[in-house]
A and B are shown apart, each in its own frame.
Chain A
């Protein structure tokens, strides 16, 4: 079974530029999560999708961050414009359904904003 796929693995941009991350969850997993991980910290949830519906986006900074999961499978997380403080690892995870506690993570996208 293929794991969670994320791209790109690394991204370097200048501040004020836009950036997008893509995630393909494990096949059959209805719930998809985006996490932010800063250096020396544990992952923190940004947004959680149940199929195509965002069921928890309370931690997503909506002034510059947006996400979509149009067909309930792949998802895209966008930052526009990026700020220096956005430099971090962005992790995508999936689980079979909401209430299935075990989440499986992708390798992450490491973002550096200069």
Chain B
């Protein structure tokens, strides 16, 4: 099970782009990288998933370098409502995988 390391917290201002990097040095060849967002007293919400290079959807982009030992979640033009905890997880290539949550990154968006 790959262990992930993220910054504990980050502050940003409204309208800025926010990049959160996650280290996963022991990622397995078949592991995918998935990011979740969690608000207080709610379950995590799926943001984006990728395997390599770059993935983009309507809310975020995910950058994965060639060695896949890290990944960066990019949130364009954040707003106050993006204040949340963001988790990076690896796994998901077989029905027997399970997620081990790390500390996550507590993002605070300031006005």
A and B co-occur in one complex: no
B contacts, CB < 8 Å to A? none
